[in-house]
Structure 1
Amino acid sequence: MQTNFTAEQLTDPGNERANEILRACVHCGFCTATCPTYAVLGDELDSPRGRIYLIKDMLENDRPADEKTVKHLDRCLSCLACMTTCPSGVHYMHLIDHARVHVEKTYKRPLTDRLLRWVLAKILPYPSRFRMALRGAKLARPFRHLMPDPRLKAMLDMAPKHIPPVSRNDDAQVFPAQGGRRMRVALMTGCAQKALDTDINDATIRLLRRMGCEVVVAQGAGCCGALTHHMGKEAEAHGTAVKNIHAWMREISGEGLDAIVINTSGCGTTVKDYGHMFRNTELAGEAAQVAALAKDISEVLMQLDLPDGKQDLKVAYHAACSLQHGQQIKNHPKALLKRVGFEVVEPRDSHLCCGSAGTYNLLQPELSKKLKERKIKSLSAKTPDVVAAGNIGCMMQIGSGMDVPVVHTVELLDWATGGPKPPKLFSNRS
């Protein structure tokens, strides 16, 4: 694609990167075949190719974002299926992220939109605040029919039936390896996950320790920044990312780390991009070092010797977009589940998003609902005993409409190798 940025415009690092990405696009349209919003809406401007044209026009002309452009960019899930299917290597993620920063800086949203986004940015990345908000949502849920805005209804519906107690495993500490130490790893305990489902981190710690890992929960580490990053709130996203970089660098410089383990794939995609996010700052070297050490839990477990086994359970594996497209990890979770003895099945169109996508299910509830219904139908068609996924957002989204339990992959792996049976298998608590 030909571009016409001026030399002055290209002095901005975001525009410089956007120019590289736009020039890689050859207009082929392969991306439209795998775009969930295009599949639902059938509008070219709700496809990656259409959004690329909108972004190009906005950035090249150095103009404030307009309502039309914002509408179609907001509808993008950032599922990154387009990056998997693109034959030209167009890095759509960096392009849409830069465009959203431009939107945030130049477009004044309606008051209700601004308030909603402010609330999400000030609550979701903070586990204590989020936990309080979930309790409030449960109390307000009987009055959801009085809510005029479907996004407010979606926020009330987000609260799970069971809000877990605070887990002390999420506090900064060191868990020694069982037996001889094979690895020393830092576990990213996240933010929303600490309020929504404490079983995941607990199972991760048990499993890693059993496999010979010393597990560190680093002092000062917290939200990865993804939730605010995808809303274009660059300063807030970078602020939380900086805290993580400093926290993990203290461990790296101290006793060292073999990996930074992440069990929420949306966070993993973001942390692995820290090198890019801070490429033009004084933190560039440390950010790149952290990004290189960041590993999804399935990547680390593939290096360890999980025992073979036999389990009498059919597991439908849901591939989170941030894992299969964002990190290009497609087979590890399935291979691990099969190794310990589960029967693993996959739904039709497993490359399509479930509609969760961070805050998407709260900001675009109608589209999100259609994608959720499609995903639940395809999963249910496999008649599984349980659904496994590697991302808390997907688990909450799918679990709200499934008749079978939805658990994190690591919970099943922990159980199959000597850990307790996942509580959700006793009763669907989500």
Structure 2
Amino acid sequence: MQTNLADFIKGTPAGDEAEAILRACVHCGFCTATCPTYQLLGDELDGPRGRIYLIKQVLEGAPVTAKTQTHLDRCLTCRNCESTCPSGVKYGRLVDIGRHVVDQRVQRPLRERALRFALKEALPRRWLFTPVYKAGQALRPLLSKGLQDKLRPAAKPGHWPSRPHARTMLVLDGCVQPAMAPNINAATARVLDALGVQLINVAKAGCCGALRHHMNEQEAALDDMRRNIDAWWPYVETIEAIVMTASGCGATVKEYGHLLAHDARYAAKAQRIAQLARDLCEVLPQFETELAALVQGRITERVVYHPPCTLQHGQQIRGRVEQVLRAVGVDVRLCADSHLCCGSAGTYSILQPALSQQLRDNKVAELEACAPDVIVSANIGCLSQLQSGTEVPVRHWIELIDAALT
């Protein structure tokens, strides 16, 4: 695709990156076949190819309108299109650049600005989000059904093993997961402890930066990333990995090296942290024999797995969760159209509720068609989104293994 970028962005790091991405696109349209919003709305501008054209026009200096902003807002950033694209177009990076430019040119309505401000300020701050979330749970019977669905009781975390092992790893606690599903990281710590690995949670690490980055607070997001790097850096020489139990966080931490490449103080450190980041499903395959011996076929439920977009498209990891579960005797299934997004997508379920709910209902229908006893996934957003639409228990897959060990 030929480009002629406007002076305001030409020659800048963002401009150079956007130009390379745009020129890789051959506008073949394969991406539209797997785009969830295009499938729902049938509008070319609500698919990747149409959004790429819109971003190209914006970066070339064309007038920016609220309509342009709306089409970009409707994108889930699921990156399904990246898995489909034969030319390797890095659409996720391009849409982040395009949204940032558009939001600088188009002022949102006051109510929308207020909502986005609340999300950007509250969700990444665990000390603020956790008490608010717990208050919501306490008041749950008085709230609307939509809010009740998002505030379901969380499993108690149980004990966190403290015995030392020769092998150590860190884990990212994140921002919303400790309140919404505190058992996930505790279960991970218990499973790794049984395998001879000590899992350490560094208290000063927090939000991975994804939330603010995708809401165009990119400088604040970079500060979140720098804080995490500073928190983890003293452990770098003694750990094997930084474990991610939320694939959305993992997709972002693995991009720290790229996102901080122009920061002279943090570029090298960010690259090292990104190299250490591992999704949990990348860590456990080395222990399959030990896990199989420990679990001994104790998981008897009919299990259906929903692979998060941030794992299968963002990190390009497929089949690893199923591999681990099958190694311990689980006959895990995938539903039809398992490549499609469930509609969570970070704050998307709040900012685009109608589209999000439609995608959720479609996904839940496919999952329930498999007659599961339990649905498992690998990202806190997906877990919350799916549980809000079904009475079938929805859990992180590591919780199944942890329960079988006790």
> Do both share a fold (TM > 0.5)?
yes
Report the Cα distance in structure 1 between the residues aligned to 2:310 and 2:222, rounded to whole angstroms.
Answer: 19
- For structure 2, the residue ranges without an aligned partner over 5 or more in a row are none
**Correspondences of 1:6-405 after superposition (within 5 Å):** 9-61=9-61, 65-138=64-137, 156-157=147-148, 159-162=150-153, 175-177=162-164, 181=166, 183-253=167-237, 256-282=238-264, 283-305=266-288, 306-308=290-292, 309-310=296-297, 311-405=299-393
* Secondary structure of 2:332 counterpart: strand
* Secondary structure of 1:401 counterpart: coil
* Secondary structure of 2:286 counterpart: coil
Q: Number of residue pairs matched?
A: 400
8 A Cα contact 2:304 2:374, kept in partner: yes
Identity of aligned residues (%): 45
After superposition, what is the alpha-carbon deviation per residue over 1:219-244, rounded to whole angstroms, capped at 9, x for unaligned?
42111011111111112111111100
Report the Cα distance in structure 2 between the residues aligned to 1:176 and 1:101, rounded to whole angstroms.
Answer: 46
Report the Cα distance in structure 2 between the residues aligned to 1:260 and 1:278, rounded to whole angstroms.
Answer: 18
TM-score (ref. length: structure 1):
0.88
After superposition, what is the alpha-carbon deviation per residue over 1:22-42, rounded to whole angstroms, capped at 9, x for unaligned?
000000000000000000000
Report the Cα distance in structure 2 between the residues aligned to 1:322 and 1:281, rounded to whole angstroms.
Answer: 25
After superposition, what is the alpha-carbon deviation per residue over 1:391-422, rounded to whole angstroms, capped at 9, x for unaligned?
01101111112221111011112223x13xxx
Q: Which moved more, 1:4-13 or 1:362-371?
A: 4-13
Amino acid of the structure 1 residue aligned with 2:82: M
**Where does residue 424 of structure 1 map in the other structure?**
none
Report the Cα distance in structure 2 between the residues aligned to 1:413 and 1:165, rounded to whole angstroms.
Answer: 16
After superposition, what is the alpha-carbon deviation per residue over 1:333-363, rounded to whole angstroms, capped at 9, x for unaligned?
0011111111111100000000000000000
TM-score (ref. length: structure 2):
0.93
Deviation at 1:157, TM superposition (A): 4.1
After superposition, what is the alpha-carbon deviation per residue over 1:196-219, rounded to whole angstroms, capped at 9, x for unaligned?
011101101111111121222124
Q: Which moved more, 1:28-37 or 1:397-406?
A: 397-406
Closer/same/farther in 2, CA of residues 286 and 143 from structure 1, 3 Å limit? same
* Secondary structure of 1:209 counterpart: helix
Report the Cα distance in structure 2 between the residues aligned to 1:144 and 1:384, rounded to whole angstroms.
Answer: 29
Report the Cα distance in structure 1 between the residues aligned to 2:370 and 2:315, rounded to whole angstroms.
Answer: 26
Report the Cα distance in structure 2 between the residues aligned to 1:6 and 1:229, rounded to whole angstroms.
Answer: 24
- For structure 1, the residue ranges without an aligned partner over 5 or more in a row are 146-152, 420-430
* Secondary structure of 1:338 counterpart: helix
Report the Cα distance in structure 2 between the residues aligned to 1:269 and 1:222, rounded to whole angstroms.
Answer: 15
Report the Cα distance in structure 2 between the residues aligned to 1:333 and 1:166, rounded to whole angstroms.
Answer: 22
8 A Cα contact 1:134 1:159, kept in partner: no
**What is the CA RMSD across the aligned residues, in angstroms?**
2.0
Amino acid of the structure 2 residue aligned with 1:226: A
Report the Cα distance in structure 2 between the residues aligned to 1:349 and 1:186, rounded to whole angstroms.
Answer: 34
Deviation at 1:74, TM superposition (A): 0.4
